[in-house]
Structure formats: C-alpha cells, structure tokens
Chain A
Amino acid sequence: MLHLADISISFGKKQIIDALSFHLATGDIGCLLGPSGCGKTTLLRAIAGFIPLQSGTINIQGECVSSQQVHVDVTERKVGVVFQDFALFPHLSVAQNITFGLHELNAADQHARLMTLLALTQLTDLAEQYPHQLSGGQQQRVAIARALAPKPEILLLDEPFSALDPALRESLALDIKHILKHEGVTALLITHDQTEAFTIADKIAVMCAGQIEQYASAYDLYHEPQTYFVANFVGEGRFIDGNVQVSPNHTPLMHTALGSFEVSEKPALSDYEKQVRLLVRPDDFVDDDASPHQVTVIGRAFRGAHILYTLLVPSSREEVLCLLPSHHDYQVGTVIGIRLELEHVIYF
C-alpha cells in the first residue's frame, strides 16, 4: 500500500531523513513515534507531497508518487491529512468544511457522503455550526471527516492530539481508531506520545535522527526493544550495569548488583566476559523483605493504585525506578528489600 524505499531528504546541508524504508499494509494503522526533531513531520510532509525527495521512492497503491525524477503534485496525490491544529476553514460551516474536497461529485453524491461522515463522526447535529463554536474534540472529528471525505488512499495524522486536553486524549484516540477502522482507511499517525501510539496503531515505527530504529507492535516495542534508543524511549525504565559470562557447556549468566540472570547468549567455544547494560522496568520488581537486595528509597511519586519509587542500590550507587502497590507506603530514606523478576532479559 504505502511503500517508502531508501528515501533521503535534506534541507541545505542538513540531512533530515537518511535512507529510510518503511511499508504499511492496506487497512492498517501505522504510527511514526519519535521525539521532536527526529524527522517524522518531514517524512509526513514528503509522503503528502509538500517536500521533494533527494533519493529513494515513495509508492502509494503501487504507483510511484515521489522519486528523484517523479513528483506528483500534492493536489493529485489522494493523500488525506489531519493537521496538528486541524486547519479548519473558519468561515465555513462543519458541512461546508467536510464537503470542500468533494468538488468532483454532484450535489446528491456530496450530500450522501456528507451524511455518512456526519453519522460516523457523530457530528450530525453540528453540521451547520462553525468551527469556533465547537470543542477541541469536535473540531478534530471535523478535520478527520474532511480528510476522509474524498476517500483518500491513505490518511496521514500529524500529532492530532497535541492541541487537545491531555485528560481526554486517550478516550478521543479510541474514538478515532473506531472511525478509521470503520472506514477501512490505511492511516499513518505521527506522534511523540507513546500512549497515543499504543492506543491507535497496529504497528509502530520508532524514529530517531532520521531513521527507523524498530518497526513492531506496541507489545514488542515495550518487552523486546531491539535498540538502546527504543528501550530508553518506550516505556519507563533505567539501565544498570551487567557483566555477561559465557563459557562452553554452561548457560550464559549476567551478574548485576540486583542479582544474576540467565541470558540467551550462545555458549561460545571459549570463555569470555562482556560488559553490558541491562534494562530494568519499574514493573519488574517484587516487594520482598527477605531479599538479599536491600535498597534505599530516595524518591516517590504517588500514582493511585501504585507508587513509583526511585531506589538507590547501595552496592553500585545505581538508581532504578520501581512500581509497587500503594498499600505499602514507604517513606524517603527507608531501606527495603526487593527482588528483580525479569520476564525478558533486555541488554545492550
């Protein structure tokens, strides 16, 4: 469906996107997740046709729309975009906004399409209102309906929740997922917020410095990150030093200040040791007074059902984050026993 092969984009001497490849299957909702400045907005603008490529190709539905030689104009690309600030036309009503891109249809077809979209986005009662009369969530649904109206081959959503109240984002994200799935549209979401990405997307590409670090499901990104950046960026977590010892006929082991763990390193022909950094997520800990690993509470943040503690491991002076049920209320300075239970041993 959407296929990016080896694309590079630079502004002047600054390389923004560097030999990036990516694909998205029909009907899927993909996501580009990354910190600001990683090039994800540039990538979106290139797919939409606002920016030319220096090299590589962009294919939509098997047709090349961007390459060094080809540049299909943005008006002819059949790419819908939902902008960060929604970019609704302030002087047009909701209905007029939605039908703006339906200029090729006759009046009856326009009306039918409008009615379908209004019903889908639950805007039927607001059709004659103007954008300034709507709430942020309603404006966003108008923007989506307007972009979906001409039945684009792919819908791009640029940070669609950043202009909205953080408390509402998750429920709005679910609404939008429902709308997109109902229309069966292939969509690509761009965001720096992993909660949004996890809620909406089927597959998420984590971007850093113009390249894709890992393209996988939310579960895999969290539990089996393949690069240090992904492990650090997705979810909360800290790294502690580890020492992997490999010898023939033995299961490889990693020794850390919080215990030793089996790792899936291949047994080698000869003995060797390797210094690594082990990913420790807050939910990897169990409260255990009998544990040999006694740590000091140096910070705490109450989160309702849980408390997120910052703990100091005395033997290595390392800090880790630890999420424990809130019925144990440890104060700063308390020394507690903890056990590290790793389901996936992730280290780099």
Chain B
Amino acid sequence: MAITLIDRWFVIALSICALLAVPILSILFSYSDVSLVLWAHLIDTNLGLYVANSLILAVGVGLGSALLGVSLAWCVTQYQFVGSRFFQWALLLPLAMPAYIMAYTYTGMFDGWGLFDSRTLFGAIVFMSLVLYPYVFMLAKTAFLEQQQQYKDVAASLGITQFAYFMRVALPIARPAVLTGVALAMMEALADYGTVAYFGISTFTTGIFRTWFGMGETQLASQLAGCLALFVLAVLLIEKHSRRNMRFYQSQPATADSSNHSSTLPLASRQHAIIFLYCSVVLFIAFVVPVTQLAIWASESFTAIAFNDYITLLLNSFGVALASSVLIVVVALLLSYTQRFARQPIVQYFTQFASLGYVIPGTVLAIGVMQPLGWLDATINNIWYGVFGEYLGLIFSGTFVALLFAYTVRFLSVALHNTQTGLERIKPNVDDAVLTLGRPRIALVRYIHLPLIKKSIFAAAILVFVDVLKELPATLILRPFNFNTLAVKAFEFASDERLIDAALPSITIVIIGIIPVILLTRAINK
C-alpha cells in the first residue's frame, strides 16, 4: 500500500514540476516563429540600447555592490568599534527597500532641493547598488567569520600587513561567497523594472513592456524575454562555473575554537572614527534617510479618504500574499516529501529545475505565463462558443489563477529551500525508527516531522509572503483588471510624480520587508 502511495505522490510531484516549467517552455516556443522584419527593425532601433544599458546596469551594480558589500563586511568582522555588532545586522536593512522606491524617494528629494537630476543610468546603478549590496555583505561576512584565526596568525608571524593579508589570503578564500552575492545582485539588476521604467531608461525589461503593450507584438516581446533570460542564465552559469573552479578554496567551518572572539582588532582612535563614519554613512544613505523621507511624506498625505483606499490596498496585498504563501508552501512540502520518501535522483533533478524560476525576471515570467494561458482561454472559449453559442470569458489569464501561478514559479525555490533544509535536518534513520516502532507513516509526519519543521515552514511562508508583497513587474502585467497591490500602487503614484501619495504604500512595503531581514539575522546568528 505504501508503495502505491509513494508512486502516486511521485506522479503528482513530477506533474507539478512539469507545470512549473511551462513559462520557460513557452518562451522557448515563441522562437518557433521568428519575424525577420520585426527583428531587423528592432536591431535598427532599440536592441543595441537594450543590450548596452542592461549590461552596463548589471555590471555596474555588480561592481558597486561588491565594493560596498566586501568593504563593509571586512570592517564589521575584523575590527572592534562602537556599534560593530549593531552594524553586523543593521547593514542588511537596505535589503528591505525595493530599488524603485529608493530611486523615486531620492529623485523626489533632489528635485525638491533643486539639485541635479538623478534620472540617469548612473543614478540607477547607484540606487540599485545601495539596496543590493546586502547580498554581498551577508555572504562575505559569513565567509570572513568562518576563516580560521590560524590563517591570520600565520600571516602575522610571516610579517604580512593587514592589507596584504586581506588581498592575498582573506579575499581569495572568500571569493566564491562574494561572487555568489555579486551574481544575485546582478540578476536582480537585470530583472529590475521599476527603477528603469521610472527613470525612462531603455533596458530589456522596459523594452519587453513597450513591445508587448506599446506595440502589441506579443511574440516579439516573448522573444525579447528569452534574450533577457539568456543574460540571467549566463550570470548564473558564470557564477556556478567559477565556484566549481574554486572549491579548493572553500574554507571548512572552523571547528573547535570557531568563536573567533579574539580575532577582532582594537583600533587607533582615528581609524576607529573613519570606520564608524563609513558604516554610518552607508546605513544613513541606504536606509535611514529614505525611510525618514517616506515617513514624512506619508504623514503629509494622511487623510481619511486616502486611508480608506490604503486599507483596501493593504487587504488586497495581504490577501494575495497570504494565498500565495499557503499555496507555495504546500507545493514545496509536497516536492520535499516526494524527494524524501521516493529517494529517487530524478525527483531531485525535477525539483531543481522547477526552482530555477527564482532567477527568471518577473517580466519574463509574466510573458511566459500570459502566452500559454491566453492561448488556453481562447481555445476553451472557441470550443464553448461552438457548443453553446456564447463566450465564457477569461478563466485563467487576467485572473488570480495567472497571478498565483506566476508567483509559484518565481518564489517556489524560496519556500523549497526552507522546507528541504528543514527536512534534511531530520536524519532518515528517524523515519525508519518510527516505522519499526509500528507507527504508521502519518504518525511520522504528524508527531515527528511537523514539530521539527514547523519553524522552517513558518519561515518559508513569511519569506514568500514578503517577496510576493514586494513583487512588481509580474503583478503589474498579470493582475486582474482594477486589482491593485501596495507595490503596484506605489509604482503608479510615483510614475505620475505623485510621490507623496506613493509614500504610504511604499513605507508599508519597507517595514514588512524588514521581517525577513530579522529572520535572516537570527538564522545566521544561530
């Protein structure tokens, strides 16, 4: 009986994985009909701009976040200064700030002061680096902390200076971690729609929007989305490849005396001041100032009518985020359990493939969801019309089905990562022990697994919830007519230069975005 049950699960799990691959396949499929005329036109006009701007943006953000992330991580891990422990987690806070909110907050401030115009590619690079450096910071910090004190002692005994130690020992060892962080930042930069759209910069994401909605060329938009996906894939592959070559460098987590407590250096007062100032300035620019500005604007815009709209917005956003996180966690659990019980490598490959959705930019994903669902709706309606003589209307596209589907593809890996590591922490022998004690498999899940993984499930749900809440481009494209979320409304207000109205939804997103930062800090400190 047990075997057939596992078989049924197995089939369900593989079907889910196949379903989640549909958007990617749909993008691939769009290349079956390439219009040379349209492409020739595109090459003559905007394609060069899309490629160049997207590349400059990605590379610029990669460099910017690497510089900020590595230098800050080095400061907080190697030196003992006032607030160094506070900065260890506080410098992660900018992660809570979506790039487009950062961008329009500062742009509005500069406009208000009559300062320079920051609506440039360089401006976009700076703002995105300021919110994306925490990826590098977080990973580099862990890598620096894991490096064993012995390395430093050896270097010191050889008479090597601090700077030489950093360049020749610490950084090379931390390089795989730093590269992963940089790759994440670059992928986010490539996927960004809000900032570049607000600044009017032509990149792949804005190009896809323009081609789809402006020109109505869905096929071409889909093909452009394919190009962008290729760029992201390239970043991912480069990262994977460089890590493979550097496995040699991976430091083992320090064992017996891993506390590293003695490793931080006391500082001369001048250096002390410089480092403190540096960390403070970054934290201020990347978090404190924009949040304060948003708070001021939000309080200015606060009226009873606006508040009513705001509550509707809040309920919409929370409702769709809650529904998605429940759905996605259930799917993640189902896949993780199939992986655990079936113990078949093929499940693992399928699951890995399904969780690739996280690297697909929201814009690309939305296009990949729209096309097949649109086709499905049209087909169903045609058949319905043929039989009943009337149209049924949209069932999938332009409804919550499409939205939830897209969210599932994009955020499944976030949940999967949590449920998988949660389950992996329970040794397989524990499962066997329960069975040999004569308890059925359901007792295993209920009395052993659930109590042990409920924290992971909760974390998965929270992370998905916040990610859905922050998501902009896919929501913008796929949302049902007249359905607004906090992110969509904040972006629309900002695009209409109604920055003060945009402040309340924006600051709500930022405050909720702090939750995963706290979860992350606690997970790291554990």
Whether chains A and B associate is yes
Chain A interface residues toward B at CB < 8 A: 48, 50, 73-81, 83-85, 87, 89-91, 100-101, 103-104, 146-147, 149-150, 152
- Contact A83-B433, Cβ < 8 Å, known A73-B1, A73-B2: yes
- Contact A80-B436, Cβ < 8 Å, known A87-B427, A89-B430: yes
- Verify A74–B435 contact, CB threshold 8 A: yes
Q: Roughly how many angstroms separate A146 CA and B436 CA in the complex, as a whole number?
A: 10
Per-position binary interface string of chain B over residues 460-491, scored 1 when its CB falls under 8 Å from any chain A CB and 0 otherwise: 00000000000000000000000000000000
B245 within 8 A of partner (CB): no
Can you give 7 A-B contacts (C-beta < 8 A)? A75-B435, A75-B440, A80-B436, A81-B433, A83-B429, A85-B429, A90-B452
B114 within 8 A of partner (CB): no
Q: Roughly how many angstroms separate A87 CA and B447 CA in the complex, as a whole number?
A: 15
Chain A hits for B436, CB < 8 A:
48, 74-75, 77, 79-81, 147, 152
Taking the closest CB of chain B, its distance from the CB of A48, in whole angstroms, is 6
Q: Roughly how many angstroms separate A50 CA and B432 CA in the complex, as a whole number?
A: 8
- Verify A84–B429 contact, CB threshold 8 A: yes
B438 within 8 A of partner (CB): yes
- Contact A101-B437, Cβ < 8 Å, known A85-B429, A87-B429, A87-B432: yes
B448 within 8 A of partner (CB): yes
Which residue of A is nearest B431, CB measured? A87
- Verify A75–B439 contact, CB threshold 8 A: yes
Taking the closest CB of chain B, its distance from the CB of A141, in whole angstroms, is 15
How many residues of B are in contact with the other chain, CB < 8 A? 20
Q: Roughly how many angstroms separate A84 CA and B436 CA in the complex, as a whole number?
A: 14
Chain B hits for A80, CB < 8 A:
436-437
- Verify B438–A101 contact, CB threshold 8 A: yes
Taking the closest CB of chain B, its distance from the CB of A146, in whole angstroms, is 7
In addition to A80-B437, A89-B430, 14 A-B residue pairs with Cβ atoms within 8 Å of each other are A73-B2, A74-B436, A75-B436, A76-B438, A78-B438, A81-B432, A81-B433, A83-B429, A85-B429, A87-B427, A91-B451, A101-B438, A149-B437, A150-B437
Q: Roughly how many angstroms separate A288 CA and B439 CA in the complex, as a whole number?
A: 65
Q: Roughly how many angstroms separate A89 CA and B450 CA in the complex, as a whole number?
A: 12
Taking the closest CB of chain B, its distance from the CB of A188, in whole angstroms, is 13
B434 within 8 A of partner (CB): yes
- Verify A100–B437 contact, CB threshold 8 A: yes
Q: Roughly how many angstroms separate A84 CA and B430 CA in the complex, as a whole number?
A: 11
- Verify A103–B451 contact, CB threshold 8 A: no
Q: Roughly how many angstroms separate A103 CA and B427 CA in the complex, as a whole number?
A: 23
- Verify A83–B432 contact, CB threshold 8 A: yes
Q: Roughly how many angstroms separate A149 CA and B439 CA in the complex, as a whole number?
A: 13
Chain A hits for B429, CB < 8 A:
83-85, 87
Chain A hits for B427, CB < 8 A:
85, 87
Taking the closest CB of chain A, its distance from the CB of B373, in whole angstroms, is 42
Chain B interface residues toward A at CB < 8 A: 1-2, 427, 429-430, 432-441, 443, 447-448, 451-452
Which residue of B is nearest A77, CB measured? B436
10 nearest interchain CB pairs? A101-B437, A87-B429, A87-B433, A83-B429, A81-B436, A74-B435, A87-B430, A91-B451, A75-B435, A75-B438
Taking the closest CB of chain A, its distance from the CB of B450, in whole angstroms, is 10
- Contact A101-B452, Cβ < 8 Å, known A83-B429, A87-B430: no
Taking the closest CB of chain A, its distance from the CB of B226, in whole angstroms, is 40
Q: Roughly how many angstroms separate A135 CA and B433 CA in the complex, as a whole number?
A: 20
Chain B hits for A101, CB < 8 A:
437-439
Q: Roughly how many angstroms separate A81 CA and B431 CA in the complex, as a whole number?
A: 12
- Verify B2–A89 contact, CB threshold 8 A: no
Which residue of B is nearest A97, CB measured? B433
Taking the closest CB of chain B, its distance from the CB of A210, in whole angstroms, is 22
Chain B hits for A91, CB < 8 A:
448, 451-452
Chain A hits for B432, CB < 8 A:
48, 50, 74, 81, 83, 87
Q: Roughly how many angstroms separate A75 CA and B438 CA in the complex, as a whole number?
A: 4
Q: Roughly how many angstroms separate A87 CA and B434 CA in the complex, as a whole number?
A: 9
- Verify B448–A146 contact, CB threshold 8 A: no
- Contact A150-B430, Cβ < 8 Å, known A73-B2, A91-B452: no
- Verify B433–A150 contact, CB threshold 8 A: no
Chain B hits for A147, CB < 8 A:
436-437
Taking the closest CB of chain B, its distance from the CB of A63, in whole angstroms, is 16
- Verify A150–B438 contact, CB threshold 8 A: yes
Taking the closest CB of chain B, its distance from the CB of A2, in whole angstroms, is 15
Taking the closest CB of chain B, its distance from the CB of A145, in whole angstroms, is 12
Chain A hits for B434, CB < 8 A:
100
Chain A hits for B441, CB < 8 A:
75
Chain A hits for B447, CB < 8 A:
100
Taking the closest CB of chain A, its distance from the CB of B276, in whole angstroms, is 40
Taking the closest CB of chain A, its distance from the CB of B6, in whole angstroms, is 13
Chain B hits for A73, CB < 8 A:
1-2
Chain A hits for B2, CB < 8 A:
73
Q: Roughly how many angstroms separate A104 CA and B439 CA in the complex, as a whole number?
A: 10
Chain B hits for A87, CB < 8 A:
427, 429-430, 432-433
Chain B hits for A150, CB < 8 A:
437-438
Chain B hits for A81, CB < 8 A:
432-433, 436
- Verify B438–A146 contact, CB threshold 8 A: no
Chain A hits for B452, CB < 8 A:
90-91
Q: Roughly how many angstroms separate A73 CA and B433 CA in the complex, as a whole number?
A: 14
Taking the closest CB of chain B, its distance from the CB of A81, in whole angstroms, is 4
Chain A hits for B438, CB < 8 A:
75-76, 78, 101, 103-104, 150
Taking the closest CB of chain A, its distance from the CB of B448, in whole angstroms, is 6
- Contact A100-B439, Cβ < 8 Å, known A73-B2, A85-B429, A87-B427: yes
Q: Roughly how many angstroms separate A79 CA and B427 CA in the complex, as a whole number?
A: 20
Q: Roughly how many angstroms separate A150 CA and B437 CA in the complex, as a whole number?
A: 7
Which residue of B is nearest A78, CB measured? B438
Q: Roughly how many angstroms separate A75 CA and B2 CA in the complex, as a whole number?
A: 11
Taking the closest CB of chain A, its distance from the CB of B343, in whole angstroms, is 11
Chain B hits for A152, CB < 8 A:
436
Q: Roughly how many angstroms separate A226 CA and B189 CA in the complex, as a whole number?
A: 72
Taking the closest CB of chain B, its distance from the CB of A57, in whole angstroms, is 20
Q: Roughly how many angstroms separate A115 CA and B326 CA in the complex, as a whole number?
A: 43
Q: Roughly how many angstroms separate A149 CA and B437 CA in the complex, as a whole number?
A: 9
Taking the closest CB of chain A, its distance from the CB of B193, in whole angstroms, is 44
Most chain B Cβ neighbours within 10 Å, of A48, A79, A83:
A83
Which residue of A is nearest B447, CB measured? A100
Chain A hits for B433, CB < 8 A:
81, 83, 87, 89, 146
Q: Roughly how many angstroms separate A146 CA and B438 CA in the complex, as a whole number?
A: 12
Chain B hits for A146, CB < 8 A:
433, 437
Which residue of A is nearest B443, CB measured? A103
Q: Roughly how many angstroms separate A149 CA and B432 CA in the complex, as a whole number?
A: 16
Q: Roughly how many angstroms separate A91 CA and B2 CA in the complex, as a whole number?
A: 26
Chain A hits for B437, CB < 8 A:
80, 100-101, 146-147, 149-150
Q: Roughly how many angstroms separate A89 CA and B433 CA in the complex, as a whole number?
A: 9
Taking the closest CB of chain A, its distance from the CB of B78, in whole angstroms, is 33
